[in-house]
Amino acid sequence: MNYHSDQVYQNIDFSESVSHPSEYENCSFERCNFQGLNISHSIFDNCTFTACDFSNAKVSQVAFRQVRFDNCKILGVHFHACNPFLLEFSFQNCQMDYCSFYNLKLKKSTFTQCRLTEVDFTEAELTASDFRGSDLSGCTFDRSNLEKADFRNTQHLQLDPELNRIRGARFDLDSLPGLLGKYRIKIG
């Protein structure tokens, strides 16, 4: 496995290269393309991705430890296939349509100001996670632990309080239709 530490990668199209499992520690990736790349079994420890394209990247057994994604395009990535050991990442201002976080432990994760169209959070552990300002159109929350999660200023939230744990979660009044939709009651 190749090891890289304290490196800054800018404007690199990794999608055109053959990928081998690598370990990156304290690295920064800026405006890089990982689209469709198979990065399986790689390790990213304390890394930052800024304005990168991760669409359809293959992440089987990838270790994401203290990783931050800012302004990235991340379409169709199956994060549920990642290595769950010490998994920790945050997303800000990212486009993350059609991703899957099925059955992952993501306590205190951040998904702020993101577009999360059709993202699957089924059975995910999202205690104290932050979704503020995100578009949650078509997101699936089913048997998810959302206790103490922050959903203020989100758009298009739909979740069933009877199928999810929401004690202590924060919502604003605009979220009520998405929480009570199955009852077909009129609000306002």
Same domain, 116 and 59: no
pTM for this model (two decimals): 0.92
pLDDT at res. 183: 64
Q: What is the mean pLDDT of residues 92-104?
A: 98
**Number of domains present in the structure of the chain:** 2
Query: Which CATH number fits the domain that encloses residue 59?
Result: 2.160.20.80
Which residue range(s) make up the domain with 109?
Answer: 101-180
**pLDDT tens for residues 123-155?**
999 999 999 999 999 999 999 999 999 999 999
Domain final residue, candidates 22, 55, 74: 74
Sheet holding 8-10, edge to edge: 8-10, 28-30, 48-50, 67-70, 89-92, 110-112
CA distance 120 to 126: 12
Same domain, 3 and 59: yes
* Residue 45 covered by a domain: yes
Sheet holding 2-5, edge to edge: 2-5, 22-25, 43-45, 63-65
Nearest to 29 by CA among 63, 59, 69: 69
Beta bridge mates, 165: 145
Q: What is the DSSP string of 118-154?
A: T-B-TT-B-TT-B-TT-B-TT-B-SS-B-TT-B-TT-
pLDDT at res. 175: 78
**pLDDT tens for residues 168-186?**
999 998 877 777 667 665 6
* Residue 95 covered by a domain: no
Q: Coil, strand or helix: which one is 168?
A: coil
* Residue 81 covered by a domain: no
* Residue 84 covered by a domain: no
Same domain, 46 and 108: no
Same domain, 1 and 46: yes
Q: What is the mean pLDDT of residues 6-17?
A: 91
**pLDDT tens for residues 43-90?**
999 999 999 999 999 999 999 999 999 999 999 999 999 999 999 999
* Residue 83 covered by a domain: no
Same domain, 123 and 172: yes
CA distance 186 to 133: 24
pLDDT at res. 163: 95
Same domain, 61 and 117: no
* Residue 3 covered by a domain: yes
Q: What is the mean pLDDT of residues 26-31?
A: 98
Statement: residue 18 has pLDDT above 70:
no
